[in-house]
Structure 1
Amino acid sequence: MKRVVVDPVTRIEGHLRVEVSVDEATGQVQDALSSGTAWRGIELVAKDRDPRDVWAFVQRICGVCTSTHALASLRSVEDALGIQIPKNANYIRNIMHSCLDVHDHIVHFYHLHALDWVSPLEALQADPAKTAALQETVLKTYNISGLEPADVQSKTSAYPKEFPKGNATYYAAVQAKIKKIVDSGQLGIFAAQWWDHPDYKLLPPEVHLMGIAHYLAVLDRQRDIVTPHVVFGGKNPHPHYIVGGMPCSISMDDMNAPINTARLAVVDESISMAHDLVDYYYLPDVLAIGHMYVKAGMVDGGGLSKKRVLAYGGYPDEPYSGISNGDYFKKAMVRANGVVENFEQGVDKAVFTNLEGKDLMDPQFLTEEVEHSWYNYPDGTKSLHPSEGITKPNYTGPKTGTKEHWEFLDETKKYSWIKSPTFQGKACEVGPLAKYIVVYTKVKQGIIKNPTWAEALMVKQVDAVSSVLGVPAHVWMCSTVGRTACRALDAQVAASLSQYFFDKLVSNIKGGDTVVANTEKFDPNTWPKEAKGVGVLDAPRGGLGHWCVIKDGKIDNYQCIVPTTWNACPKTIANEHGAYESNMIDTKVKIADKPLEILKGIHSFDPCLACSTHLYNKKGEEIVSVNTDALCK
């Protein structure tokens, strides 16, 4: 048995360490630990803030998932204060959310995850002419676009004008660029990988060249996907919002207005381009690579997704009166709210448990545990509902080594800065895979009797991929390949949702409605003395929840359970592994010292861990800097 440490895990946001115990004879992982090595502390920053401002602070939890934290925060405060946003604000927020989903998934695959599957060194062995022919075959075989209703399909497609299919000359030029990088000995963006790992031999060289070419092409165009953030929110990352709606006024007559005909046309073009990137690059690439892995029988890494997944759903079709009162879920276009267990046995045998608005405020449903986390709860308490949550650090260090320089963590005690969220005391996986499992189960079992077009599209996608791969949904979905594929499917739905809500916005403006904010309760004098609220959505990485307690016009308590808290958490009180740990245990490793399969599995979740915390006084002088990364000096 060999214990292998990967610290830090690269090509993610934040600081993550994993440890695995591998049986070198069989390649089976016997045990695994996932440790978030930085303290977030944003909850302490939010305390005593004005509830109207807190979205701007908590949005800075991350610069990758950017506006999702702002959206969850706004919804939490609006839920607490009973604020219903106008139609235009709802449509705009949904456009900004959906375009971020597309951007995040595309950037994740090509620039954080693709190099787990394709290699620039293997690309040098490819024949450019065969690569061009291969791309034609891939587009014909793995293009599953057009499943959505006609009225939400791209209206101003840029394909093939801006996105040529590629010819031998194009691929030869890309190959020459790659060779120049390799020959220089400075791999740059292609550095820090085990390029001699046997998994890279699974794919033909032409697949590697095509993948690296698309890596470079998308790197150049990805910034245009978030144009709606710049138009509606003023910038990206961290666009602007306002409690009660949006701060961007609308005028079809004033060409200097934040939102006018010219700027709406720019948004329309951005949405169409994003749709094309998904349909003609992202999804075919993922399915082509995934198909080769499935044919080779490499469908491991399902982990906790086989056992239990959780999602919140989202994209309210129209403004809702609240989240904790359940109206948000009634208006959602994607009603993924709930938990599905035992999906690995088949969709007909899966067990669904509903998750309503009132359940989000009930400790019988949702809690956070600190049994194996570097925090303390008062009076020996080990589990609290997030609305009652406490962020009090208690760093104890590793099992062997020192507090500054770790050797191995102690799996029997505390070993992570991440708490352990639970649903009814059980760990859950969240993410696009979880969302797809929940929706697919609810529709197939008749729990959703009249699917929205978005839900129907999700089911069509899963069935189409099952047909292409030649295996049932529960086989390919519950794997590292499936987790990666469901992100691409989610991007396709998100691109269609962007178009859907853009069309609704334009139609509403044409009808004469230009209201973007409800300010009736913006004055604190209109607020109750005490109020509690919750804001949820399925962010790019999965179920995201913000809980706030407002007292005397200020934030009294603020807690977030982010998707990576669910997935990267340490073991629960019941000794159940979280999603990262379960994924590693369910993965075979060919070479213990080069656990590419482990990184591939971890990257399939698109980890997003928070960075270290610095506190400053009013003069801007640093009070304390808490450094919890053992590798930083």
Structure 2
Amino acid sequence: MKRIVVDPINRIEGHLRVEIEVDEATGKVEDALSSGTAWRGIELIVNGRDPRDAWMFVQRICGVCTTVHALGSLRAVEDALGIEIPKNANFIRNIIAGTQMVHDHLVHFYHLHALDWVSPVAALRADPAATAALQNTVLEKYSLTFEGPVSFDTNAYPKEFPKATTAYFREIQNKIKGIVESGQLGLFSAHYWDHPDYNVLPPEAHLMAVSHYLNMLDRQREIVIPHVIFGGKNPHPHYIVGGMPCSISMNDMNAPINTERLAVVDTAINLTIDLVNNFYIPDALVIGDLFVKAGFADGGGLAGQRVLAFGDFPEDRYSGTSNGDYFKNLLIRANGVVENFGQGIGQAVFHPLEGKDLTDPNVLTEGVEHSWYRYPEAGKDLHPWNGVTTPQYTEPKEGTKTNWKYLNEDGKYSWIKTPKWNGKMAEVGPLAKYIIVYTKVKQGIIGEPTWAEKFMVDQIEAVSKALNLPPEKWMPTTVGRTAARALDAQLHAYIAKYFFDKLINSIKAGDTTVANTATWDPATWPKEAKGVGLHEAPRGGLSHWVTIKNGKIENYQAIVPSTWNACPRDGKAGYGAYEASMIDTKVKIAEKPLEILRVLHSFDPCLACATHLYDKEGKELAVVRTDPYL
């Protein structure tokens, strides 16, 4: 048995450490520990502040997913104060959210997760002519040509399409060769070059993927242009409690939103659709197909056992979240929990998640059994509205407080709390959302799917046909988690287009209202109020919880997707999603645990890593650096 310590994990946001016990004879991971090694603490920063300012602070929780925490916070405060935003503001927020989702997924796949599947060095063995032929084959076989409903389409032709010429791929290969021969691999150096898993793909696939890696470095910034138009900037666009701060005028060319700027948004959304359809979807599916055919069907962990989502994209105005109105007109009605999906669609069990469940102190809770926090009553979990953020840091099992050797899996070992649904662990994320919608549609729980829900089911069935596997076999795996993100990006590219069309039609009808300021004055607020804001963020179900007293924030808690997935184990509920997925993954070479990086990166962790390896006596065997600057 060998103990592997991976700290910190690279190509993620934040700071994450994992410790794994591996049986070297079988490669089986016998135990796994996931530790968030940085204390967030932003909830304490907003306590005592004006709730109208909370979104500006809490969206700085993350610099990658930028806008999602602002949206969760806005919805929480608006829920507490009974503020109903105008429909134009809802459309604009949905456009921002849709484009954020695509940007986040695309950057994750190409620039954070790709090096788990693709080797730039392997691309040097490729035949450029064969690569050009492969590019055309991939486009023909793995493109999913779905379209969302739009009232009009202004995309005259694809603005971005993969290049498929011998000369182009030869030039890319020469660039890679020059970098490798220089010994200065730069952004490619945080990589295991000789792992056998890189042989799953032919050299031509590596060269094609690296060229797209570089393409997306250049093009990804254009996806978030709608953030700049509607929110003034990216990252962290501007909002206002009650709506949006961008006034609309079709006559004033100096107005924040006018015909010229709406045309820029339209162009960006059309480009986004092209990038997803012509690059992301085919690349993710061809890689997934080859890995599935090579027998990679592990890493599912909790995905086949229990997944949770909140649903998102209100079609129109709603009066609040905790009163249940938010769930009544969602475009994606993923709100709920599905258990046992891995046993097949007939055995999957759906549990609804509605307004009354949000306020039930027993349904959604957080525990701190293995977290570096202290609750007033030991062993008792708390509802988020009653959540406490009181640190209680303890020493590791071996080492010192500032120089860890092994963390204490029997005690406290993470700065992340442990969220639970009815006392149980659950995985969140695009995969969870797709599993829930698919189950609800196939079991008839959703009688008439929205266009987006039908879109999701069609995507799943198209991939199942391409892989020649039923959904319950390929979805709850590392490959499935990665593929679901690609499908989610395609869906949200069309969602952005859908709500842009709604916005244009609303403006054409004469409505230019973007904010409701009727209750802006704190004198109009109740003395005490509670609210919750929900959002299906790129990494999964996000919830912000606020209590307001005498015009100030009395308590604030955020349960983020990586809290659900990266949380430490619980004595009764078992392992969190990261830990369960690592236990469900086999490792070929303990000194090069590429499989562990791949399964963790499939979650797109919002947390950071180098790798230290120890034998069972605690003696350091090797140090494998995954960050060239450490």
For normalisation by structure 1, the TM-score amounts to: 0.95
Aligned twin of 2:534: 536
Aligned twin of 2:418: 420
How far has the Cα of 1:389 moved from its partner? 0.2
1:371-390 matches, cutoff 5 A: 371-390=369-388
Q: d(CA) in 2 for partners of 1:17 and 1:313?
A: 30
How far has the Cα of 1:164 moved from its partner? 4.2
1:121-160 matches, cutoff 5 A: 121-145=121-145, 147-151=146-150, 155-156=154-155, 159=158
Match of 2:169 among 171, 174, 184: 171
Aligned 8 A contact 2:34 2:567 in 1: yes
Question: How many matched pairs?
Answer: 611
Aligned twin of 1:269: 267
CA spacing shift, 1:51–1:35, aligned 2, 3 Å: same
Q: d(CA) in 2 for partners of 1:139 and 1:249?
A: 42
CA offsets 1:78-136 (integer angstroms, 9 cap, x no match): 00010000011000000000000000000000000001000000000001110010010
Q: d(CA) in 2 for partners of 1:610 and 1:511?
A: 49
How far has the Cα of 1:177 moved from its partner? 0.8
Q: d(CA) in 2 for partners of 1:516 and 1:350?
A: 42
Aligned twin of 1:46: 46
SS in 2 for 1:544: strand
Residue type of the alignment partner of 1:278: V
Aligned 8 A contact 1:153 1:499 in 2: no
Q: d(CA) in 2 for partners of 1:240 and 1:455?
A: 30
Match of 1:547 among 533, 536, 545: 545
CA offsets 1:162-218 (integer angstroms, 9 cap, x no match): 434321111111111111111111111101211110000111000000000000000
Aligned twin of 1:509: 507
CA spacing shift, 1:610–1:174, aligned 2, 3 Å: closer
Aligned 8 A contact 2:242 2:516 in 1: yes
Aligned twin of 2:335: 337
Q: d(CA) in 2 for partners of 1:26 and 1:157?
A: 55
2:287 is equivalent to residue 285 of structure 1: no
Q: Percent identity?
A: 67
Aligned twin of 1:401: 399
Aligned twin of 1:354: 352
1:203-352 matches, cutoff 5 A: 203-352=201-350
Aligned 8 A contact 1:313 1:537 in 2: yes
CA offsets 1:58-86 (integer angstroms, 9 cap, x no match): 01001101110000000000000100000
Q: d(CA) in 2 for partners of 1:251 and 1:150?
A: 26
CA offsets 1:479-518 (integer angstroms, 9 cap, x no match): 0000000000000110010000000000000110000000
How far has the Cα of 1:46 moved from its partner? 0.9
Unaligned runs of 5+ in 2: 610-628
Aligned twin of 2:472: 474
Q: d(CA) in 2 for partners of 1:157 and 1:130?
A: 31
Aligned twin of 1:104: 104
CA spacing shift, 1:349–1:180, aligned 2, 3 Å: same
CA offsets 1:573-619 (integer angstroms, 9 cap, x no match): 315000000000000110011110000000000000299xxxxxxxx
Unaligned runs of 5+ in 1: 612-631
Aligned twin of 2:34: 34
SS in 1 for 2:85: coil
CA offsets 1:336-384 (integer angstroms, 9 cap, x no match): 0000000000111100100001211212110000000000001324310
Residue type of the alignment partner of 1:433: L
Q: d(CA) in 1 for partners of 2:88 and 2:346?
A: 40
SS in 2 for 1:325: coil
Which 4+ runs in 1 deviate beyond 3 A? 152-155
SS in 2 for 1:53: helix
Task: Output the aligned Cα RMSD.
Answer: 1.4
For normalisation by structure 2, the TM-score amounts to: 0.96
SS in 1 for 2:535: strand
CA offsets 1:378-422 (integer angstroms, 9 cap, x no match): 132431001000000001021101110111111111000000000
2:448 is equivalent to residue 461 of structure 1: no
Q: d(CA) in 1 for partners of 2:209 and 2:225?
A: 25
Aligned 8 A contact 1:136 1:165 in 2: no
CA spacing shift, 1:163–1:523, aligned 2, 3 Å: same
Residue type of the alignment partner of 1:592: A
Residue type of the alignment partner of 1:148: E
Residue type of the alignment partner of 2:2: K
Q: d(CA) in 2 for partners of 1:153 and 1:588?
A: 49
Q: d(CA) in 2 for partners of 1:379 and 1:607?
A: 31
Residue type of the alignment partner of 2:532: V
Aligned 8 A contact 1:7 1:18 in 2: yes
CA offsets 1:305-339 (integer angstroms, 9 cap, x no match): 01100000100000111111111111110000000
Residue type of the alignment partner of 2:343: Q
Aligned 8 A contact 1:158 1:273 in 2: no
CA offsets 1:8-30 (integer angstroms, 9 cap, x no match): 00000000001110000000000
Aligned twin of 1:603: 601
Residue type of the alignment partner of 1:273: L
Aligned 8 A contact 1:420 1:571 in 2: yes
Aligned twin of 2:566: 568
Q: d(CA) in 2 for partners of 1:319 and 1:492?
A: 25
